[in-house]
């Protein structure tokens, strides 16, 4: 018998399930299951990626200086306090790897990103799920769950798959209430869809124990490139860089991300279209008895009478070539997460759900 065994917690990890991309027997589908930008990446990002092909024999810079400088310019942040990763997922992993281990606890909320317990177990820490209230993060419930063993609290804001968010005042109350030994990680993958929200950057400036993460996978349309970043006090960034592989981001990914973040005109177009179509689709579905909370993201969480109706609607949508996301794994069995696509996609969703509910499409 082999004596080779994995670290404690590894075999408790349930494999992450991404959004479905194909439907058997249906050739042309519209994928609305992964919250991707229906307009794709900035044309300037595509051009930068193409231009990078001539230098693919060169290693990328290890310090990501040019991209960090661009992030700093756009968001008014100190580039020395920015770290880049293979998606924001990798930055979250850096945090757990550096600050949690056996005997430590990592708090996340019941409808939070499903990678949090996976990341905790990767570090051999214990994930602790805390209840939300009406599909929103409950600050008091988190504070009540904190113990001397708690090292990290993950908060998705705006939430995924809920689409809801809590105020900066509530986030500040949470940061203030955590003990000195505990880090608060604000996962802001959908920050750009909220006007006037900095994703928690100002909280990083106020509190030493706050880390903010962002991604290029959503509004910037670079999910296939896998680029994310984090912002924290310099001592924390110094620690995280010690567990980051020096060449974690490719030359092409760095070039595309820098071009994308500098194309503010395309960004504003994507945000404007998302806001318009998000409200329209949510309102139209509500009229036929499919409500959703006001969304602060590029998707809505459509709620049905029960799990059976949600799954039946999902099955019907698939026959129409529309792929959305079941979220029973997020403790929301009677809901479907629907990405806000372009206008044609949104109209097709409303027509298909209307037909399913028995009305005139």
Residues 274-318: tens digit of each pLDDT: 999 999 999 999 999 999 999 999 999 999 999 999 999 999 999
- Count CB neighbours of 316 within 10 A: 15
What stretches of 79-223 adopt beta strand conformation (E)?
82-85, 105-109, 126-130, 150-156, 183-187, 210-215
What mean pLDDT is predicted for residues 150-159?
Answer: 97
Q: How far apart are CA 300 and CA 327, in angstroms?
A: 12
The confidence score (pLDDT) of residue 60 equals: 95
For residue 122, the model assigns a pLDDT of 93
Q: Is the dihedral of CA 301, 307, 313, 317 positive or negative?
A: positive
Residue 237 has pLDDT above 60, yes or no: yes
Whether the pLDDT of residue 249 is over 50: the answer is: yes
Average pLDDT over residues 142-155: 98
Average per-residue pLDDT for the chain: 94
Q: Residue 360's pLDDT band (boundaries 50, 70, 90)?
A: very low
Residue whose pair of structure tokens reads 């299951």 in the numeric block: 33
With CA atoms as reference, report the closest residue to 159 among 194, 183, 202. Answer: 194
pLDDT digits (tens, 9 = 90+) for 167-187: 999 999 999 999 999 999 999
Tell how strand 325-326 and strand 335-339 pair up. Answer: antiparallel
For the ranges 20-34, 122-136, 166-180, which has the lowest average pLDDT? 20-34
């Amino acid at each position: 018998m082999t004596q080779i065994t994995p670290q404690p917690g590894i075999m408790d990890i349930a494999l992450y399930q991404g959004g479905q991309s194909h439907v058997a027997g249906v050739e042309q589908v519209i994928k609305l299951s992964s919250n991707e930008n229906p307009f794709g990446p900035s044309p300037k990002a595509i051009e930068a990626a193409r231009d990078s092909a001539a230098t693919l024999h060169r290693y990328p810079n290890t310090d990501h200086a040019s991209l960090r400088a661009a992030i700093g310019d756009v968001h008014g942040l100190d580039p020395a306090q920015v770290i880049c990763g293979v998606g924001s997922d990798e930055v979250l992993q850096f945090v757990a790897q550096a600050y949690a281990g056996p005997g430590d606890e990592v708090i996340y909320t019941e409808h939070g990103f499903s990678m949090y317990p996976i990341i905790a177990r990767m570090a051999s820490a214990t994930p602790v799920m805390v209840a939300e209230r009406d599909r929103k993060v409950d600050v008091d419930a988190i504070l009540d769950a904190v113990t001397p063993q708690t090292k990290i609290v993950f908060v998705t804001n705006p939430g995924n798959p809920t689409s809801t968010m809590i105020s900066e005042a509530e986030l500040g109350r949470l940061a203030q209430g955590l003990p000195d030994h505990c880090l608060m990680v604000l996962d802001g993958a959908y920050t750009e869809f909220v006007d006037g929200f900095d994703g928690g950057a100002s909280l990083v400036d106020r509190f030493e124990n706050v880390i903010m993460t962002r991604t290029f996978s959503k509004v910037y349309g670079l999910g296939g490139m896998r680029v994310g970043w984090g912002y924290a006090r310099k001592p924390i960034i110094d620690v995280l860089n010690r567990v980051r592989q020096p060449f974690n981001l490719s030359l092409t990914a760095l070039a595309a991300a820098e071009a994308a973040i500098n194309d503010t005109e395309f960004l504003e177009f994507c945000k404007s279209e998302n806001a318009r179509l998000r409200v329209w689709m949510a309102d139209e579905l509500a009229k036929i008895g499919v409500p959703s909370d006001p969304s602060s993201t590029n998707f809505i969480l459509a709620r049905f009478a029960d799990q059976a109706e949600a799954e039946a609607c999902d099955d019907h949508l698939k026959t129409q070539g529309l792929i959305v996301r079941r979220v029973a794994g997020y403790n929301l069995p009677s809901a479907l997460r629907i990405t806000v696509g372009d206008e044609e996609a949104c109209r097709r969703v409303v027509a298909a759900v209307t037909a399913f509910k028995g009305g005139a499409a």
